[in-house]
Amino acid sequence: MSHKTTVLLIEDEKSICRFITTSLENGEYRVVTASTGAEGLSLAASLCPDVILLDLGLPDMDGMDIIKQIRTWSQKPIIVISARVKEQDKVMALDLGADDYITKPFGTGELMARIRTSLRHTHNKTAASAKIYRAEGLVIDYEKHMVTLDGAEIHLTQIEFKLLSLLSKNAGKVLTYSFIMEHIWGPYIDSNNQILRVNMANIRRKIEANPAQPRYVFTEIGVGYRMLEDENDK
Amino acid sequence: MPHKSQNQYTVFSEHSIIVNILITAGILVVTTATSFLFFFFVPDNYAIIYLLYILALIFIARYTTGYAYGIVSSLIAVVCVNYIFTYPFFKINFTLSGYPLTFAVMLTITLITSTMTSNLCRQAKIIKEREQLLREAELEKMRANLLRAVSHDLRTPLTGILGNSSGYLENTDKLTDAEKKLLVSSIHIDAEWLLNMVENLLTVTRIQGDNLQINTSLESVEEVVSEALLRLKKRFPDSVVNAVVPDEMLFIPMDAVLIEQVIINLIENAIVHSDTIDPIELIVSADASFVSFTIKDYGKGLSPNRLEHLFDGTSGDFEKSSDTHKGMGIGLSICKTIITAHRGEIYGENHDTGAQFCFCLPVTKK
């Protein structure tokens, strides 16, 4: 049996369904669509899809509830497709367990890239985690605790190294402020993320040639940070 | 509506009757007490007591609304003076010579003061109302301009989409593949432009109400700049923007999404309207009270006509541009709205070899 990656698309708008289905099927995915939340949940349970694409604005239920329910029994990647533009919605979806979000409208190229990234992350979770991150001259050696940029060593503080490691291990994925705060400073840190942003600014000054035009760590305003993908994965 | 305002009026006047009575009583009691002191310590000088009461009447007329309190108080004052402070003490004696005259003088003073103060109040109210009307008219004008600019700017790409798509549908058999591709790609370009416009309009909905309320938080300037540049890079992969930010970390209060939109609009204008592929510069600099952002292109500059109407939602050469694509009207008027809501300033001008736009944001919350 040729194993095609199965994508479950939960989306109520026909025209969007059509174009996503067309482009994904050309890209060697098997696409199953559901137009309501209830249908989507039952398909998610019966088909065990590899990736779930979820529209937050469904007619019968709130997309956030669907994420919550699916996350009680499955860790398969969920990519949120949404017309909602408020940052709070993005943050909420991510904190509830969505892997990524993509805001309508989007190109098919972008969608495919996101799907590939999230699939890779699920595979990496099971495989032994990588020992080295490498992208455009930046190398992070987790075991040696060393960061080099074009061969020259970069001196980072303990916190900065932890931050950069966390981001690079999840490269390509948006990590929300609260997720990062909790992983670096523990669950009892207050919700003010100023300390995080100061540390990020310091990291930028050390690894980016121009902090205003970063190559490695990108800001998603109001949501969090995303790091350039690992070359090893490409 | 009239019913409602009447209700409000009733509530207001009930409240103010109590306040007025308290003011009147308070002033009279204080005056009488002071008069007693003078009466006992300077027994020969009755004139001061009259003066004190007249002063009290002026105050009452000034700080109460309407004539009633003043008139009643002048009556009380006359009786008080008669009863307490004139011989025979603590007896009413209306036969005193000149008594009606005293009463008349006091009443006149009260009436004149009341008239003057109520006039003052009315004038203040009228001025306030007029200011409110002006403000509303200003906002209304801004909205009307925006609406006009929107419908004007939307019509062109929509016409393009309709025309190209129906051309495709009607002539599917006759068109060559290259022609089909051309039609579809121009639909694509128009749709993309429309989308950008809608995004702009959506950001404006983040500004609340008539006072242009926004939710600001401390944001890192370089992060906002970098995200704006990243989004521009997606839309204009071939354009080069050189950004310079200060080495110090700048955190200033703003709505980051809005400021990002301003940066995107200004750079997009520079890319689309400068008629050059020379790199665009974005320079951020800071002093003690402001952070300023300058977007500089090295293109053909702004026409004098346009300079006059940069931010008012119309492109200065409105007639001329009505059939050219992509006026920069809406984008700039949205920038202006956003920066005004941040209590900052924005202006555009020509430099020696192109155009530059500059906006600045206050470093601290007001």
Q: pLDDT digit of tens for each residue in chain A (234 aa)?
A: 457 889 999 988 888 888 888 888 887 889 999 999 999 999 999 988 999 999 888 888 888 999 999 999 888 899 998 876 678 888 899 999 898 888 877 778 888 888 888 888 777 654 446 688 888 889 999 888 889 999 899 999 999 999 999 999 888 888 999 899 988 888 877 777 888 989 999 999 999 988 888 999 999 888 899 998 887 765
Please tell me the distance from the alpha carbon of residue A211 to that of residue A49, in angstroms, as a whole number: 40
Mutate to test the interface with B, among A91, A196, A221 (most CBs of B within 10 A): A221
Domain stop point among B104, B135, B166: B135
DSSP B287-356: -SSEEEEEEE--SS---HHHHHTTTSSS-SSHHHHTTSS--SHHHHHHHHHHHHHTT-EEEEEEETTEEE
Residue B223: its chain A contacts at CB < 8 A?
197, 200, 219, 221
* Largest separation between any pair of C-alpha atoms in chain B: 120
Express each pLDDT in B198-240 by its tens digit: 888 877 777 766 667 788 888 899 999 999 998 888 888 888 9
d(CA A18, CA A9): 11
Rounded CA-CA distance A39/A60 in Å is 10
Q: Is the pLDDT of residue B135 over 50?
A: yes
How far is B177 from A6, CA to CA, in rounded Å? 33
The pLDDT tens digits of the residues spanning B66-80 come to: 778 878 888 888 777
Report the SS3 class of residue A78.
strand
The rounded mean pLDDT for chain B is: 81
pLDDT of residue B225: 94
- Do B122 and B20 share a domain, yes or no? yes
Please check whether residue B187 lies inside any domain of the structure.
Answer: no
Any domain includes B344: yes
The answer, yes or no, to whether residue B316 has pLDDT greater than 50, is no
- Nearest-5° angle of CA A70, CA A71, CA A72? 90
Distance CA A37, CA A63 (A): 7
Last residue of a domain, one of B135, B150, B184: B135
User: Is A129 at the interface with chain B, CB within 8 A?
Assistant: no
Question: Are residues A212 and B251, on separate chains, in Cβ contact within 8 Å?
Answer: no
Distance from CA of B275 to the nearest CA of A (A): 24
Q: Is residue B249 part of a domain?
A: yes
Distance to chain A for B301, nearest Cα, Å: 26
Which of A12-21, B50-59, B79-88, B239-248 has the least mean pLDDT?
B79-88
pLDDT number for residue B76: 82
Cβ of B219 and A211 within 8 Å? no
pTM of the entire structure?
0.70
Contact A47, A5 (CB under 8 A): no
Res B366 pLDDT > 60 = no
Paired residues of B292 in beta bridges = B285, B360
| pLDDT score for B243 | 92
pLDDT reported for residue B208: 67
- When CB atoms are compared, the residue of A197, A210, A213 closest to B220 is A197
Within chain A, strands assigned E span 5-10, 29-34, 51-55, 78-82, 100-103, 132-135, 138-141, 146-149, 152-154, 174-176, 217-220, 224-227
Residue A201 touches partner B, C-beta closer than 8 Å:
yes
A213 touches chain B (CB under 8 A): yes
DSSP A148: E
Q: Is residue B173 part of a domain?
A: no
- Torsion angle of the four alpha carbons B104, B109, B115, B116, in this order, in degrees rounded to the nearest 10: 160
Q: How high is the pLDDT of residue B365?
A: 63
Over residues B97-106, the mean pLDDT reads 75
Check: CB of residue B49 under 8 Å from CB of residue B82. no
* Chain B closest-CA separation from residue A26 CA (Å): 19
Which pLDDT belongs to residue B209?
Answer: 66
- Residue B107 is part of which domain span? 2-135
- Give a yes or no: residue B351 inside a domain: yes
Mean pLDDT value across residues B283-291? 91
Whether B42 shows a pLDDT value over 80: the answer reads no
Per-residue b or e along B103-138, where b marks 16 or more CB atoms closer than 10 Å to that residue's CB: beebbebbbebbeebbeeeeeeeeeeeeeeeeeeee
- Are residues B228 and B363 located together in one domain of the fold? yes
CB contact under 8 A, A212 and B257: no
In which residue are the tokens 């009290």 written?
B56
List Cα–Cα distances, A100 to A78, A93, A180, B101, B134, in angstroms. Answer: 7, 9, 15, 90, 48
Q: Which of B108, B135, B162 is the last residue of a domain?
A: B135
Contact (CB<8Å) A212/B282: yes
Q: Where are the beta strands (DSSP E) in chain B?
A: 217-220, 241-244, 251-254, 280-286, 290-296, 345-351, 354-362
Indicate whether B307 pLDDT > 50.
yes
| pLDDT at res. B322 | 42
Mean pLDDT of B309-332: 57
Q: What is the pLDDT of residue B145?
A: 72
Is B284–A222 a contact, with Cβ atoms under 8 angstroms apart? no
Tell if the CB–CB gap between B226 and A87 is shorter than 8 Å: no
Q: Mention every residue, 6+ apart, whose C-beta is less than 8 A from residue A63.
A: A37, A54, A55, A56, A57, A80, A82, A93
The domain spans of chain A are 5-126, 132-233
Looking at residue A129, its pLDDT comes to 62
pLDDT score at B140 = 77
* Residues B106 and B227 grouped into a single domain: no
At residue B9 the predicted structure's pLDDT band, cuts being 50, 70 and 90, is: very low
The answer as to CATH 3.40.50.720 being correct for domain A132-233 is no
Closest CA in chain A for residue B216: A222
Q: Which CATH architecture has domain A5-126?
A: 3-Layer(aba) Sandwich (3.40)
Look at the alpha carbons of A74, A78, A82, A84 in this order and tell me if their dihedral is positive or negative: positive
In angstroms, rounded to a whole number, what is the distance separating the alpha carbons of residues B248 and B222?
Answer: 10
Residue scoring higher pLDDT (B320 or B76): B76
Q: Is residue B206 part of a domain?
A: no
CB A75 within 8 A of CB A52: no
Nearest to A221 among B243, B244, B260 (CB): B260
pLDDT at B278 over 60: yes
Mean pLDDT of B99-108: 78
Q: Are B70 and B64 in contact (CB under 8 A)?
A: yes
- Following CA atoms B221, B224, B230, B234 in sequence, which dihedral angle do they give, to the nearest 10 degrees? -140
Q: Compare B86 and A49 and report the one with higher pLDDT.
A: A49
Write the CATH number for B354.
3.30.565.10
Tell me how far apart the alpha carbons of residues B215 and B207 are, in angstroms, rounded to a whole number.
8
Contact B229 A220 (CB under 8 A): no
B249 closest CB neighbour out of A198, A213, A222 = A198
Q: How far apart are CA A33 and CA A18, in angstroms?
A: 10
Residue B119 has pLDDT above 80, yes or no: yes
Does B100 fall in a domain? yes
pLDDT at A1: 41
The residue of chain A with its CA nearest to that of B282 is A212
pLDDT classification of B13: cutoffs 50, 70, 90: low
Partners of A101 in the beta sheet? A80
User: Is the predicted pLDDT of residue B358 greater than 90, yes or no?
Assistant: yes
Does a structural domain hold residue B195?
no
CB contact under 8 A, A221 and B251: no
Q: Which residue has the higher pLDDT, A124 or B3?
A: A124
Q: Are the Cβ atoms of B256 and A221 closer than 8 angstroms? A: yes
Residue linked to tokens 């591709």: B181
CA distance A6 to A130: 26
Please count the structural domains in chain B: 2
Contact A218 B227 (CB under 8 A): yes
Q: Does residue A197 sit at the B interface (CB-CB below 8 Å)? A: yes
